[in-house]
Amino acid sequence: MKAVQISFRQMLVFLKNDMMLAIACVAPVFIGSIFCFGIPRLEGVVTEYFKMKSILKPYYQVFDVFLASITPVFYCFVAAMVILEERDDHITDALYASPLGKGGYLVSRLGIPGLLSFVITEGLLLAFSLIHVSFLTRTFMAMNGVLQGVIFSLMVVTISSNKLEGMAVTKLTSLMMLGVAMPWFLPEKVQYVFWFLPSYWMGKAVWCQENLLVIPAVLLAGVWGYCLVKRGRC
């Protein structure tokens, strides 16, 4: 456990030396503030301009679910970039051949950041949510966001062979998050095309206000995670 803590602290030192990744850590706070303060103002402006009662308001939930998804994804993106750079520099081999081991390394690079991003997501949803959601729903949203974030980083690490490729794969992989918006924009029959995305079920859970729909999201995240770890090069 001591080795895991030290390894995680080392990751923080690493971030101190990498401005891009350090900025990525505070980006969710900016996004949350923009959603919270910018969207209602924008709603005011557009409804007045188009003389309509509401335009963006029916989609406020989408912004909340999106914030719950993007926050852990940012932290897991940072973790994936650190893993890739450590792999590029052959540091992972040295860490595997130490008391930290492969398991400890993955806990320090994916487990702890995932756990922290869960707490941060809860906090950001509490602070910046556009609609009132219950504690349970908020927790489910944060949990699902974290699972998605871990899948995201596993995918980036598995597909890419270096940090440069990782940046490119990140853009492609982040499309997986779009599943959250499908229940609002696609007819029910069509939206099931996205059943394999955990994010779709999270969106569906919020749209239907049915917390049980979190179960398929968690199960699917488990399957994705298992397949990626099995195939993985991390």
Partner 1 sequence: MITVNNLNYSYTDKPFIRDMSFRVSRGEIFGFLGPSGAGKSTLQKILTGMLPDYQGQVQVHGVECKKHKKDFYENIGVDFEFSTMYEKLTARENLNFFSSLYKKKSKSIEGLLEKMGLAQDADKRVSEYSKGMKARLNFIKALLHDPALLCLDEPTSGLDPTNNRLMKDMILEEKAKGKTILLTTHNMQDATELCDRVAFIVGGQIMALDSPHNLIMSRGARTVTYRWQENGEQTAVCALDEISTDQRLQMLIHDNRLLSIHSSEPTLNDIFMDITGRALV
Give me the residues that bind partner 1 (CB under 8 A), please: 2-3, 6-7, 10, 13-14, 17-18, 89-91, 93-101, 104
Considering beta carbons, is residue 25 or 180 the nearer one to partner 1? Answer: 25
How many C-beta atoms surround the C-beta of residue 185 within 10 A?
A: 12
Q: Greatest CA span in the chain, whole angstroms? A: 66
Tell which residue, 119, 92, 118, has the closest CA to residue 106.
Answer: 92
Considering beta carbons, is residue 7 or 191 the nearer one to partner 1? Answer: 7
Q: How far is the CB of 92 from partner 1 (least distance, A)?
A: 9
Those residues whose C-beta lies under 8 Å from the C-beta of residue 88, and which sit 6 or more positions away, are 162, 163
How many C-beta atoms surround the C-beta of residue 38 within 10 A?
A: 12
Considering beta carbons, is residue 17 or 189 the nearer one to partner 1? Answer: 17
Q: How far is the CB of 162 from partner 1 (least distance, A)?
A: 14
Contact between residue 57 and residue 43 where contact means Cβ atoms under 8 Å apart: yes
Tell which residue, 83, 79, 84, 154, has the closest CA to residue 117.
Answer: 79
Considering beta carbons, is residue 101 or 232 the nearer one to partner 1? Answer: 101
Dist CA 135 CA 41 (whole Å)? 26
Considering beta carbons, is residue 92 or 191 the nearer one to partner 1? Answer: 92
Q: How far is the CB of 111 from partner 1 (least distance, A)?
A: 16
Dist CA 3 CA 93 (whole Å)? 15
Dist CA 5 CA 115 (whole Å)? 13
Tell which residue, 82, 106, 234, has the closest CA to residue 158.
Answer: 234
Considering beta carbons, is residue 98 or 209 the nearer one to partner 1? Answer: 98
Considering beta carbons, is residue 17 or 48 the nearer one to partner 1? Answer: 17
Contact between residue 86 and residue 95 where contact means Cβ atoms under 8 Å apart: yes
Q: How far is the CB of 156 from partner 1 (least distance, A)?
A: 20
Please work out, in degrees rounded to the nearest 5, the angle formed at the alpha carbon of residue 210 by the alpha carbons of 205 and 214. 50
